């Protein structure tokens, strides 16, 4: 289309150039024609004047003017060379040559100074002039025609250009409109539809289907989108189902966990009731055996008592774990002499062991707010652990240090130690370290967990420093700023 327009513009400018050149030539020819007419008149006047006064200078003028006419005709001829008016040109050349002959004759006559000759040749000249004038008239007419024709050509060219330009514009417009509707139907509308469906899919409406009949890229896209929506729907429902199952399982798990805690709590309580009566009965029997001096019965009754105490401990620990799990571990903070508590506990434990020497020492301690019963539980746990995990006996040291903000208590044994990777895990619920040598120690893995929860509940910290085979040192701190 652009090429077409460029061609038209080129064509237009070409036509204009041709027309301009023609016009210039025609105007020049017209000018020369007028000049020839004037020179003819001048020669006539010169000849008349010469016939009266015979002035030689007049003859020179005539010679000059006839030469000028010839030159003008010659120039006109040069313009006619490229023209198509062949007949006119031939006439013109004949006239021109005859004019030259006549002129020469005239000049000769003048030079001969014979009036008769001059007159005869003058007449001849006049005749020739008429001839030239006729030729010139033809030329003028021809030029006028040429002018009209070139003007027609130009107008036609312009009109052609306008027509073509208009046609081009209209066809372009029609093409654009057609293209618009075509693209709208082929691309925009399907894309809009695809976008809408994709957006609906993203909102969870997987049921929307796209018409995927066309085999072009959009058809493929629609087909893939339908496939994707179907897959999404399937996966979504699967995930939803799984999430629901997981939720149910979780709820069930929580419910089970809660029921388990309730069960442990109730079971522990229920267990304690028979244990209480068994313990009372055992002690009654112990006393009566002692009175009777039945050593054998007494020995076994004491052993029974120990086992009842062990059972009681396990029940108590289960109760505590259950309390911690349900967030019901509460502290009864009251002003307590921690030093006395530690010393008493050390004495009590020492009373139950033979192979171990329990050393208890430390700073003077302030009276601080702690739960006496629970703290005692921690001390007993750490001391019995120290004894339990140093099976070959030895020293167990309990040291207490007064520090600015808290009290630091440590329990050091010379036992089997704990590999470093277990140092954090031993404070977890039911976590137990299994000895390399397959030597098992009794217990359920509750003691350190309970102790650590009790210390944390006080706002303190508990940790261990130990190397396998080189004994362990357990530390805990109790803050001084607790309010009772």
Partner 1 sequence: MKKVLIIDDDLSILEAMKLAVEMHGYQVVTLSNAEDAEARVIQVKPDIVLLDVLLSGIDGRDIAYKIKKDPNTKTIPVIMLSASPQTDRSSRDFGADDFLAKPFELHELFKLIDKYLKV
Nearest approach, Cβ of residue 479 and partner 1 (Å): 21
Nearest approach, Cβ of residue 329 and partner 1 (Å): 8
User: CA 49, 54, 60, 66 torsion: positive or negative?
Assistant: positive
Q: Does 275 participate in binding partner 1 (rule CB under 8 A)?
A: yes
Q: Does 279 participate in binding partner 1 (rule CB under 8 A)?
A: yes
d(CA 6, CA 8): 5
Nearest approach, Cβ of residue 279 and partner 1 (Å): 4
Q: Does 302 participate in binding partner 1 (rule CB under 8 A)?
A: no
Nearest approach, Cβ of residue 359 and partner 1 (Å): 27
Count of residues engaged in binding partner 1, rule: CB under 8 A: 24
| 73 vs 450, beta carbon nearer partner 1 | 450
Q: Does 280 participate in binding partner 1 (rule CB under 8 A)?
A: yes
Stretch that binds partner 1, among 280-288, 337-345, 347-355, 407-415 (CB under 8 A): 280-288
User: CA 383, 389, 394, 397 torsion: positive or negative?
Assistant: negative
Q: Does 457 participate in binding partner 1 (rule CB under 8 A)?
A: no
Nearest approach, Cβ of residue 338 and partner 1 (Å): 19
Stretch that binds partner 1, among 134-142, 185-193, 244-252, 275-283 (CB under 8 A): 275-283
Q: Does 332 participate in binding partner 1 (rule CB under 8 A)?
A: yes
Binding letters toward partner 1, positions 254-273, x by CB under 8 A: --------------xx--xx
Nearest approach, Cβ of residue 323 and partner 1 (Å): 7
Q: Does 373 participate in binding partner 1 (rule CB under 8 A)?
A: yes
Q: Does 281 participate in binding partner 1 (rule CB under 8 A)?
A: yes
d(CA 332, CA 64): 151
Q: Does 308 participate in binding partner 1 (rule CB under 8 A)?
A: yes
Nearest approach, Cβ of residue 354 and partner 1 (Å): 21
Asked if 142 and 87 count as a contact pair (C-beta separation under 8 A), the reply is no
Q: Does 241 participate in binding partner 1 (rule CB under 8 A)?
A: no
| 73 vs 329, beta carbon nearer partner 1 | 329
Q: Does 287 participate in binding partner 1 (rule CB under 8 A)?
A: yes
**First vs last C-alpha separation in the chain:** 98
From the number of C-beta atoms within 10 Å of its C-beta (0-12, 13-18, 19+), residue 140 rates as middle
| 81 vs 273, beta carbon nearer partner 1 | 273
Q: Does 330 participate in binding partner 1 (rule CB under 8 A)?
A: yes
Residue 477 has φ and ψ, to the nearest 5°, of: -120, 150
Please select the residue that binds partner 1; options are 185, 277, 307, 340, rule is CB under 8 A: 277
| 198 vs 311, beta carbon nearer partner 1 | 311
Stretch that binds partner 1, among 130-138, 325-333, 395-403, 446-454 (CB under 8 A): 325-333
Q: Does 274 participate in binding partner 1 (rule CB under 8 A)?
A: yes
Nearest approach, Cβ of residue 412 and partner 1 (Å): 29
- CA-closest candidate to residue 321, choices 430, 424, 425: 430
Q: In the beta sheet, which residues pair with residue 402?
A: 407
Q: Does 284 participate in binding partner 1 (rule CB under 8 A)?
A: yes
Residues making contact with partner 1 (CB under 8 A): 268-269, 272-281, 283-284, 287, 308, 312, 316, 319, 323, 328, 330, 332, 373
């Amino acid at each position: 289309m652009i090429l077409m327009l460029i061609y038209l513009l080129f064509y237009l400018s070409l036509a204009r150039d041709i027309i301009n050149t023609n016009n210039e030539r025609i105007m020049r020819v017209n000018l020369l024609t007028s000049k020839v007419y004037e020179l003819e008149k001048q020669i006539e006047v010169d000849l008349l004047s010469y016939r009266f006064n015979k002035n030689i200078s007049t003859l020179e003028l005539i010679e000059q003017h006839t030469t000028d006419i010839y030159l003008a005709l010659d120039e006109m001829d040069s313009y006619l060379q490229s023209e198509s008016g062949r007949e006119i040109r031939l006439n013109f050349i004949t006239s021109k040559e005859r004019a030259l002959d006549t002129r020469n004759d005239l000049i000769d006559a003048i030079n001969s100074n014979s009036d008769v000759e001059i007159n005869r040749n003058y007449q001849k000249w006049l005749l020739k002039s008429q001839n030239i004038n006729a030729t010139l008239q033809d030329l003028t007419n021809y030029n006028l025609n040429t002018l009209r024709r070139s003007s027609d050509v130009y107008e036609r060219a312009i009109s052609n250009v306008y027509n073509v330009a208009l046609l081009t514009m209209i066809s372009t417009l029609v093409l654009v409109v057609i293209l618009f509707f075509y693209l709208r139907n082929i691309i925009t509308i399907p894309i809009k539809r695809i976008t809408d469906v994709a957006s609906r899919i993203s909102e969870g409406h997987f049921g929307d289907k796209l018409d995927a009949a066309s085999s072009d890229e959009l058809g493929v896209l629609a087909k893939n989108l339908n496939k994707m929506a179907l897959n999404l729907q399937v996966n979504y429902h699967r995930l939803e189902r799984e999430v629901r199952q997981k939720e149910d399982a979780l709820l069930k798990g929580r419910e089970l966990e809660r029921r388990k805690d309730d069960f442990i709590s109730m079971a522990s309580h229920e267990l304690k009731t028979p244990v209480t009566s068994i313990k009372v009965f055992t002690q009654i029997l112990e006393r009566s055996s002692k009175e009777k001096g039945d050593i054998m019965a007494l020995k076994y009754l004491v052993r029974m008592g120990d086992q009842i105490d062990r059972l009681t401990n396990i029940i108590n620990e289960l109760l505590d774990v259950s309390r911690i799990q349900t967030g019901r571990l509460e502290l009864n903070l009251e002003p307590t002499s921690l030093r006395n508590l530690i010393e008493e506990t050390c004495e009590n434990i020492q009373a139950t062991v033979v192979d171990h020497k329990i050393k208890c020492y430390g700073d003077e301690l302030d009276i601080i707010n702690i739960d006496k019963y629970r703290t005692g539980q921690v001390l007993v746990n750490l001391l019995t652990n120290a004894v339990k995990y140093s099976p070959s006996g030895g020293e167990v040291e309990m040291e207490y240090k007064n520090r600015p903000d808290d009290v630091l208590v440590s329990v050091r044994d010379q036992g089997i130690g704990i590999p470093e990777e277990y140092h954090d895990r031993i404070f977890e619920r039911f976590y137990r370290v299994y000895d390399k040598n397959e030597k098992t120690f009794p217990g359920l893995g509750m003691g350190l967990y309970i102790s650590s929860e009790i210390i944390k509940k006080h706002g303190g910290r508990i940790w261990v420093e130990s190397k396998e085979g080189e004994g362990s040192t357990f530390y805990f701190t109790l803050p001084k700023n607790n309010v009772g």
